[in-house]
Chain A
Amino acid sequence: MSETQQITKLGMPKWGLSMTEGTVVQWLIEEGTELQSGDEVVEVESEKINNAVESPAAGVLRRQVAQEGDVVPVGGLLGVIADASVPDPEIDAFVEEFQSTFVPEEAEAAAGPEPQTVEVGGRSIQYLAMGEGDPPLVLIHGFGGDINIWVFNQEALSADRAVYALDLPGHGGSSKDVGEGDLGSFASVVEGFLDALGIERAHLAGHSLGGAVAGAFALAHPERVASLVLIASAGLGEEINAGYIEGFIAANRRKEMKGVLGLLFANPDLVTRQLVNDVLRFKRLDGVDEALRTIADKVFPGGKQAGGLDLPALDVPILAIWGREDRIVPASHAGRLTERARIELLDDTGHMPQMEAAGAVNRLISGFLADAES
């Protein structure tokens, strides 16, 4: 490094297409504290969800520029990280320089890439594409989810390769007709999706039911799967929280839905009113009730996973990520892949590690994909 010591900006992150600003909830680290790259520094609340912002660099947290309660535009200055040896006046000059020149992006420009649709087997499938580079990574959400569950991951992971997130039939912006609604039918949607986009071979990452879908596709077409990332995945055991599945289908009011969604996280406070509203808006679309009912009856009949996937037999690299406090699919199911997969269990994390421990999950996936490609 040259004489000028590096000063690193801790900026307001952009979580999802619609985020234009965030509110500083709480500093998790005091000024003057030494920190490592990846340490959680400050808790931020967007419209949709709360999360911790991680340090982009090692150093000392020299300034907490934004105060608790401040609303800061995406890209705006939250704090400053630099080595302890950087003199205070340089830090002050950096802050002043930044604040006097920073212009928040217009809402339109800040919106970033928009979801697109492609026709697969007579259905319209919505997807969001980011980044470039082969082989791409395809993200598959679980029961009741959509592309937005990857809001903390897709952009970060797209630094190294193209990343596609898709809405399964019955979900998000895709057609609500789910056909058979079983793993096989979803796996053929994934196949059709890859064909339609001209993707020969991809890394697949699936969350919960999406993990089982990815696994079913990999068993049917191992030659098209570069690697498999299974996050809190179905398909590895019999148990599933039937109360959650039935509660999700039945909940029609905010209060019930908030309780149900709280089961997804180790810390239920992460469920914001906006998240509850978004899920209810989805559920109130015509056809969604029937779609969810059909899927639940097919893949979780009698409150148990239908199963039948021999994932350990797969000849592709597998990474399994689980939150130890998963209340939907027990973390013990990862044991099924012992000696077959890289298994990572995360503390203080529930069924949504990609949201609740986004930074850690992003690093695990990036590292794993790089290894799988080497």
Chain B
Amino acid sequence: MARRITYMQAINEALAQEMERDPSVVIFGEDNAGGAGAPGEDDAWGGVMGVTKGLYPKYPDRVLDTPISESAFIGAAAGAACSGLRPVAELMFVDFMGVCFDQIFNQAAKFRYMFGGKAKTPMVIRTMYGAGIRAASQHSQSLYPIFTHIPGLKVVVPSNPYDAKGLMIASIRDDDPVIFFENKVLYTMEGEVPEEPYTVPLGEAEYVREGDDVTVVAIGRMVGMAEQAAEALADEDIECEIIDPRTTSPLDEETIFESVENTGRLVVVDESNPRCSLAADIAARVAQECFDDLKAAPKMVTAPHTPPPFSPALEDLYVPDPERIAAAVREVAGAGARA
């Protein structure tokens, strides 16, 4: 069997292999090199969760710690990308992204368009999202819909170690700015990952499970939750087809539509807040494009429209879980055919 490593190791390996392959790949962010003011320490921490651990000793000139100024180093990444490097910048928690929206939305996302296609911006912003580690409202949001909304950005939300590595390599090699969302709860997830470098194309959804009754589109950490729900539902003779878009921009609508044409029923599971979410977007696109195939109204399973709570008891209720997903699927599956 193929080697098993964690989601975090898969991302680290992708970074290491791309740095080895391409000298223009550089990494920077808060604590990415050493942390604790300690560039040069061989056992440096490597980012707040340790994802870049081990890269600094190998590439001391290409792994940089930055001041605590997101607007400065994200702007620097956009500039570096325009002038020949392939920066991978780590912005610890996506919740902090607000201070550098201009650099991302008005600069990086617009260069190619405003310069008539002559400018490339091959940068990756790695960032963590999601609730579940008792880190409260300002460290637990799932903000990928905001970035999906902006033309000119690509948005990647891997759900497992294999995809994390292949999507990271594809993101680094891509000539457009990519926002790469890492779910902090998934860092310890293990899976089979080839040792060799490989890519997973941006914009191709994965069929996680095949089934004829209900299409379940799930994003990031929600894919595993949907799989658990599908296992339970299979015992009730409800077969879910689970689709993991893997990237929310570009979004592989074709695969989603194809599945809904077969099942006629849709549940979208999205960890973000419900308004203007990926769930809302996908449900709307399906309603528009597959109306005649639908046998029931699409359902969304999302976090509630509140900030992520600090209370552990409430946080556990906040994130969609297999029971909520299963309940939504049952409702959709039970709804009769429309006249």
Do chains A and B interact in one complex? yes
User: Which A237-281 residues have a C-beta within 8 angstroms of B?
Assistant: 252-254, 273, 277, 281
Q: Is the CB of B198 within 8 A of A252?
A: no
Q: Is the CB of B201 within 8 A of A285?
A: no
A284 CB contacts on chain B under 8 angstroms:
166, 198-201
User: Which one of B21, B201, B210 lies within 8 Å of A252 (CB-CB)?
Assistant: B201
User: Which one of A17, A253, A273, A285 lies within 8 Å of B196 (CB-CB)?
Assistant: A285
Interface size on B, residues (CB 8 A): 14
Q: Is the CB of B204 within 8 A of A253?
A: yes
Q: Which residue of B lies closest to A17 (CB)?
A: B1
Taking each of A176, A277, A286, which has the highest tally of chain B beta carbons within 10 Å of its own beta carbon? Answer: A286
Interface assignment of A111: CB less than 8 Å from any CB of chain B: yes
User: Which one of B1, B200, B201 lies within 8 Å of A114 (CB-CB)?
Assistant: B1
Q: Which residue of A lies closest to B166 (CB)?
A: A284
Q: Is the CB of A285 within 8 A of B204?
A: no
Determine how close the nearest CB of chain B comes to the CB of A80; give it in whole angstroms: 26
Interface assignment of A18: CB less than 8 Å from any CB of chain B: yes
B206 CB contacts on chain A under 8 angstroms:
277
Q: Is the CB of A286 within 8 A of B197?
A: yes
User: Which B184-237 residues have a C-beta within 8 angstroms of A?
Assistant: 194, 196-201, 204, 206-207, 210
Interface assignment of A133: CB less than 8 Å from any CB of chain B: no
Q: In the complex, what distance in Å separates the CA atom of A161 from the CA atom of B179?
A: 54
A121 CB contacts on chain B under 8 angstroms:
none
Q: In the complex, what distance in Å separates the CA atom of A18 from the CA atom of B192?
A: 12
Q: Is the CB of B1 within 8 A of A18?
A: yes
Q: Is the CB of A286 within 8 A of B196?
A: yes
Q: Which residue of B lies closest to A288 (CB)?
A: B198
Q: Is the CB of A285 within 8 A of B1?
A: no
Q: Which residue of A lies closest to B203 (CB)?
A: A253
Interface assignment of A179: CB less than 8 Å from any CB of chain B: no
Q: Is the CB of A285 within 8 A of B197?
A: yes
Determine how close the nearest CB of chain A comes to the CB of B213; give it in whole angstroms: 13
Q: Which residue of A lies closest to B200 (CB)?
A: A284
Interface assignment of A287: CB less than 8 Å from any CB of chain B: yes
User: Which one of B1, B194, B197, B204 lies within 8 Å of A254 (CB-CB)?
Assistant: B204
Q: Is the CB of B201 within 8 A of A273?
A: no
Q: In the complex, what distance in Å separates the CA atom of A252 from the CA atom of B194?
A: 18
User: Which B131-167 residues have a C-beta within 8 angstroms of A?
Assistant: 166
Q: Which residue of A lies closest to B17 (CB)?
A: A286
Q: Is the CB of B198 within 8 A of A273?
A: no
Taking each of A176, A284, A287, which has the highest tally of chain B beta carbons within 10 Å of its own beta carbon? Answer: A284
User: Which A316-331 residues have a C-beta within 8 angstroms of B?
Assistant: none
Q: In the complex, what distance in Å separates the CA atom of A111 from the CA atom of B1?
A: 8
B194 CB contacts on chain A under 8 angstroms:
281, 285
Q: Is the CB of B204 within 8 A of A286?
A: no
Kindly supply a per-residue 1/0 record for chain A positions 1-36, scoring 1 wherever the CB is within 8 Å of any chain B CB and 0 otherwise.
000000000000000011000000000000000000
Q: Which residue of A lies closest to B197 (CB)?
A: A286
Determine how close the nearest CB of chain B comes to the CB of A314; give it in whole angstroms: 37
Q: In the complex, what distance in Å separates the CA atom of A287 from the CA atom of B198?
A: 9
B196 CB contacts on chain A under 8 angstroms:
176, 285-287
Determine how close the nearest CB of chain A comes to the CB of B189; give it in whole angstroms: 18
A277 CB contacts on chain B under 8 angstroms:
206
A17 CB contacts on chain B under 8 angstroms:
1
Kindly supply a per-residue 1/0 record for chain A positions 282-324, scoring 1 wherever the CB is within 8 Å of any chain B CB and 0 otherwise.
0011110000000000000000000000000000000000000
Q: In the complex, what distance in Å separates the CA atom of A252 from the CA atom of B198?
A: 13
Determine how close the nearest CB of chain B comes to the CB of A112; give it in whole angstroms: 10
B204 CB contacts on chain A under 8 angstroms:
253-254
Determine how close the nearest CB of chain B comes to the CB of A66; give it in whole angstroms: 16
Determine how close the nearest CB of chain B comes to the CB of A284; give it in whole angstroms: 5
Determine how close the nearest CB of chain B comes to the CB of A244; give it in whole angstroms: 22
B197 CB contacts on chain A under 8 angstroms:
285-286
In the complex with contacts A284-B200, A285-B197, A273-B1 CB distance below 8 A: no
User: Which one of A18, A111, A286 lies within 8 Å of B198 (CB-CB)?
Assistant: A286
User: Which A111-136 residues have a C-beta within 8 angstroms of B?
Assistant: 111, 114
Q: In the complex, what distance in Å separates the CA atom of A129 from the CA atom of B246?
A: 37
In the complex with contacts A18-B1, A253-B204, A273-B199 CB distance below 8 A: no
Q: Is the CB of B166 within 8 A of A273?
A: no
A273 CB contacts on chain B under 8 angstroms:
207, 210
B199 CB contacts on chain A under 8 angstroms:
284, 286
Determine how close the nearest CB of chain B comes to the CB of A72; give it in whole angstroms: 14
Q: In the complex, what distance in Å separates the CA atom of A182 from the CA atom of B1?
A: 30
Q: In the complex, what distance in Å separates the CA atom of A111 from the CA atom of B207?
A: 24
Q: Is the CB of B198 within 8 A of A285?
A: yes
Determine how close the nearest CB of chain A comes to the CB of B238; give it in whole angstroms: 13
B207 CB contacts on chain A under 8 angstroms:
273
A18 CB contacts on chain B under 8 angstroms:
1
Determine how close the nearest CB of chain A comes to the CB of B326; give it in whole angstroms: 19
A281 CB contacts on chain B under 8 angstroms:
194, 198
Q: In the complex, what distance in Å separates the CA atom of A273 from the CA atom of B262?
A: 15
Determine how close the nearest CB of chain A comes to the CB of B18; give it in whole angstroms: 10
Q: In the complex, what distance in Å separates the CA atom of A176 from the CA atom of B210?
A: 32
A254 CB contacts on chain B under 8 angstroms:
204
Q: Which residue of B lies closest to A254 (CB)?
A: B204
Q: In the complex, what distance in Å separates the CA atom of A59 from the CA atom of B83?
A: 76
Determine how close the nearest CB of chain A comes to the CB of B177; give it in whole angstroms: 22
User: Which B1-37 residues have a C-beta within 8 angstroms of A?
Assistant: 1, 21
A287 CB contacts on chain B under 8 angstroms:
196
Q: Which residue of B lies closest to A176 (CB)?
A: B196
- 7 more CB-based (< 8 A) A-B contacts, given A18-B1, A111-B1, A286-B199: A17-B1, A277-B206, A284-B201, A286-B21, A286-B196, A286-B198, A287-B196
9 A-B pairs within 8 Å (CB atoms) are namely A273-B207, A273-B210, A281-B198, A284-B198, A284-B200, A285-B194, A285-B196, A286-B198, A286-B199
Binding site for B on A (CB under 8 A): 17-18, 111, 114, 176, 252-254, 273, 277, 281, 284-287
Binding site for A on B (CB under 8 A): 1, 21, 166, 194, 196-201, 204, 206-207, 210
- Give the 5 A-B CB pairs with smallest separation, nearest first: A286-B197, A285-B198, A284-B198, A285-B196, A284-B199
